[in-house]
Amino acid sequence: MSPLRIATRKSPLALWQAEYVAKRLQAAGVDSVLVPLVSGGDVDMRPIDGTRQVGLFTKRIQQALLENEADIAVHSLKDLPTEQNPRLLLAAVPERETVLDSLVSKACLRLDQLPSNARIGTGSQRRAAQLRNHRPDLQVMPIRGNVQTRLGKLDEGEFDAILLAEAGILRLEMHELPRTQFSIEEMLPAPGQGALGIEVRSDDQACDTVSVLDHIPARAAVTAERKLLALLHGGCLAPIAAYAQVHGQTMKLTATVLSQDGSQKLEEKHELPTTAESMLATAHQLAQLAATALLERGAADLINAAR
């Protein structure tokens, strides 16, 4: 059997993720080889906004699958559009890393310690809106580039602090990076944050091969989050945050929709009983409950205003 070809972006974090999957496959007795590619989001450094297409970081990687340049693709799941290409299949979601966001600054400041008018860099509408909700006095400014590029801009003094996903910091082993973690209450994560998605062609036997890496509680949690996003028609650019967890026989989902300026915030919390066999069905039910409640409270207006 030929080694599985793993399509991945060339950024250090994306390569780490692909190598992690390769090691997991190797442990299961499956050889693989990386196929590094450059996505549109890696070369286009304009701020991401509603005028830009979805799948900015994933389209080229998916194209490699569709054109048989690769057998599997590894994505940061939060970057993967919720609208599924019928020729592709999300075959596995491995165990999830932390979903927390971190505030990175030279002085290792907490959010409440930042001086008024401090310049904070983030490329995420979700993070920006939640920052403005807590601290409307801050200058929240767009920033692009991989982790190393963003840290370089912080070092050069373009920003007083930047926001990064803690999962990426840990995966890149930047343990000494001066930072403070936001609590879930301060900064609810993006749908799928901290999770990897392994995608295959829907008619390919590679699905059976990589399914050994699937972690059902992680898949159920991100299914609830991504289904919510799809039901809200939010795409990956709207100020929508969601976090689902499985605790024993209970599954919980917290979801938030904000206005861009952070002045309006809608939040819903729902939980349902579940079992190992019904976890994915429970995820869909929770997403429907939360989405219906948010839409009844006017979430669509906030989402449309952010486009």
DSSP structure string for 200-211: EETT-THHHHHG
Question: Same domain for 122 and 244?
Answer: no
Instruction: Provide the residue type at 8 as one letter.
Output: T
CATH of the domain at 271: 3.30.160.40
Predicted confidence (pLDDT) at residue 40 exceeds the cutoff of 60: no
Q: What are phi and psi of 177, to 5 degrees?
A: -65, 125
Mean pLDDT of the chain: 92
pLDDT confidence bin for 46, thresholds 50/70/90: very low
Question: Same domain for 164 and 127?
Answer: yes
The pLDDT value recorded for residue 56 is 64
Q: Do the domain assignments include residue 262?
A: yes
Question: Same domain for 71 and 204?
Answer: yes
Q: Which residues of 76-109 are buried (b: 16+ CB within 10 A; e: fewer)?
A: bbbbbbbeeeeebbbbbbbebbebbbbbbbeeeb
Q: Do the domain assignments include residue 188?
A: no
CA distance 252 to 270: 6
CA proximity to 93, closest of 228, 211, 200? 211
Q: Do the domain assignments include residue 190?
A: no
Question: Same domain for 219 and 306?
Answer: yes
- The residue ranking higher by pLDDT, 146 or 190, is 190
The pLDDT value recorded for residue 306 is 85
CATH of the domain at 165: 3.40.190.10
Q: Do the domain assignments include residue 189?
A: no
Q: Mean pLDDT, to the nearest integer, of 283-303?
A: 97
pLDDT one-digit tens code per residue, 214-251: 999 999 999 999 999 999 998 767 899 999 999 999 99
The whole model's pTM is what? 0.91
pLDDT confidence bin for 196, thresholds 50/70/90: very high
Question: Same domain for 266 and 121?
Answer: no
Question: Same domain for 121 and 78?
Answer: no
Predicted confidence (pLDDT) at residue 53 exceeds the cutoff of 60: no
The pLDDT value recorded for residue 84 is 87
Q: Do the domain assignments include residue 243?
A: yes
How many residues make up the chain in this entry?
307
Q: Mean pLDDT, to the nearest integer, of 286-295?
A: 98
Alpha-carbon dihedral sign for residues 283, 288, 294, 295: positive
The pLDDT value recorded for residue 39 is 60
pLDDT one-digit tens code per residue, 131-155: 999 999 999 999 988 899 999 999 9
- Annotation says 79 is catalytic: yes
Question: Same domain for 124 and 177?
Answer: yes
CA distance 91 to 70: 15
Exactly one of 42, 44, 49, 79 is catalytic; which is it?
79
Q: What are phi and psi of 240, to 5 degrees?
A: -120, 135
pLDDT confidence bin for 6, thresholds 50/70/90: very high
Distances (CA, A) of 183 to 77, 90, 110, 205: 21, 30, 11, 41
Question: Same domain for 131 and 273?
Answer: no
Encoded tokens for 97:
């890393």
Q: Do the domain assignments include residue 62?
A: yes
Question: Same domain for 77 and 209?
Answer: yes
Q: Do the domain assignments include residue 56?
A: yes
Q: What percent of the chain has pLDDT over 70?
A: 94
Q: Domain range spanning residue 303?
A: 215-307
Our count of domains for the chain comes to 3
Q: Mean pLDDT, to the nearest integer, of 186-200?
A: 97
pLDDT confidence bin for 25, thresholds 50/70/90: very high
Q: Mean pLDDT, to the nearest integer, of 116-138?
A: 97
3-state secondary structure of 279: helix
Q: Do the domain assignments include residue 273?
A: yes
DSSP secondary structure code for residue 238 in this structure: S
3-state secondary structure of 258: strand
CA distance 252 to 3: 39
